[in-house]
Structures are given as C-alpha cells and as structure tokens.
Amino acid sequence: MLSISVEVEKETRNLFQMAVQRRRRLRAKMQSLVVGYTKEEGSDETTTNFMESLMGLLRIHVKRGVNLAVRDARSSDPYVVVKMGKQTVYDHDTFTKDDKMGDAEFEVSSYIEALRKHTNLEEIPNGTVLSRLQPNISNCLAEESLIYLNDGKILQDLVLRLGNVECGEVEIQLEWIHFPGSKTF
C-alpha cells in the first residue's frame, strides 16, 4: 500500500511540475505577444516608444470549461489557444499529439463600442449593464452576454458553446486594461 501512495505522490508531483512549466512558457509567450504590432527588422525602436503607441491591452480571462469532451483514457487536460477573432480549445498531451476539443468564435466589436461610448465611468453606478448580446445562429454564445461596469472597469462575460465537437462550453471574461497617458478610442 505504501508503494502505491508513493507512486501516486510522485506522479502528482510530476504532473504539477509539468503544469507549472507549461504556465511559465505560456506567460513568457504572452509577454512577448502584442496584437497588431510588428517591429520592423533592423529598427532600434525602444520599448518606451512602443508603449507610448499602445492604447491598452485586451485581457481575456478563461474562467472555466464546462462539460468538455473527454479525449484521453479517463479525462482531459484542456488548455485554450486564443487567436485573432477565434478561440480554440485543445487537449494538451505530453507524449502524443494534441486532440482538438472544439472551437468557438466571438466578436469584440460590441465590447469596443461600449468602451468608446462610456468614457465617464465615475458617473455610472457600479453593476450597471451597458449592453446585452443575445445568442443566435451567427455567434457561438450559449447564453446572453452582458457588458457591464464593475469597480470602474467595463467587463464582458461570455459563455461560448464549442463547435465541431459533441459537447462543451468555455466561460471567458473580457477586460480592457487602459495604459495611463495612452491614446483613447
């Protein structure tokens, strides 16, 4: 009995270490990515000049996956790959090829419109719903999506139904991070 628990403990520790390494690699990639920016080769543009040209960052917080398809023997270890205008969920395998677990697309235009329209956030009560998006055949929304004010930030919660798979939803939240002194919409 002792040897089994030790093996389980070792396996759990190995899985945890692999997850930590994966998260570190993802953070390193995220720090190096900026949507819509390409530095010209040979350019000596400084980080300061680059930061001055930014309007802000769109944070996409993946809250959770619900009823995701099982792609391994007993379970799956899903992760999200965010592409411009597209979200794809994969089952990340250490020793075999990743198995696609669905995809979903969503538009950020309504969210950006709310950011442009509501500039005096101090005048809007906390919790105010600024806009509502309904699920329909042209989007992947599983339920109504709210754009609302929370603690001085405009947020949007989305529940996306995954396509090209038998089941699954991904819950995400959009948040705009404005850089002080940067351009506005």
Give the pLDDT of the chain (185 residues) as one tens digit per residue: 333 444 555 566 666 677 777 777 666 655 544 444 444 445 555 455 555 666 788 888 989 989 988 877 776 677 777 776 555 655 555 666 677 788 888 889 999 999 999 988 899 999 999 999 999 988 999 999 999 999 999 999 999 999 998 999 999 999 998 877 777 76
| Same domain as 153, residue 63 | yes
Cβ atoms of 119 and 105 within 8 Å: the answer is no
List the end-to-end C-alpha distance of the chain, in Å, as a whole number.
63
For residue 81, being part of any structural domain is answered with no
In 3D space, the residue among 40, 67, 82 whose CA is nearest the CA of residue 169 turns out to be: 67
| Same domain as 151, residue 65 | yes
* Token code pair at residue 154: 């405009």
What is the rounded distance in angstroms from the CA atom of residue 152 to the CA atom of residue 78?
Answer: 32
Residue range of the domain that includes 156 = 54-69+107-185
Alpha helices by DSSP H, listed for the chain, are: 2-32, 47-53, 109-117
| Class of residue 12 by CB neighbours under 10 A (exposed 0-12, middle 13-18, buried 19+) | exposed
| Same domain as 179, residue 124 | yes
Alpha helices by DSSP H, listed for 107-167, are: 109-117
For residue 169, being part of any structural domain is answered with yes
For 102-135, b/e burial (b = at least 16 CB within 10 A) is: bbbebeeebbeebbeebeeeeeeeeeeebbebee
* Token code pair at residue 123: 């005048």
For residue 97, being part of any structural domain is answered with no
| Same domain as 172, residue 127 | yes
| Same domain as 115, residue 152 | yes
State pTM to two decimals.
0.69
| Same domain as 185, residue 146 | yes
| Same domain as 135, residue 184 | yes
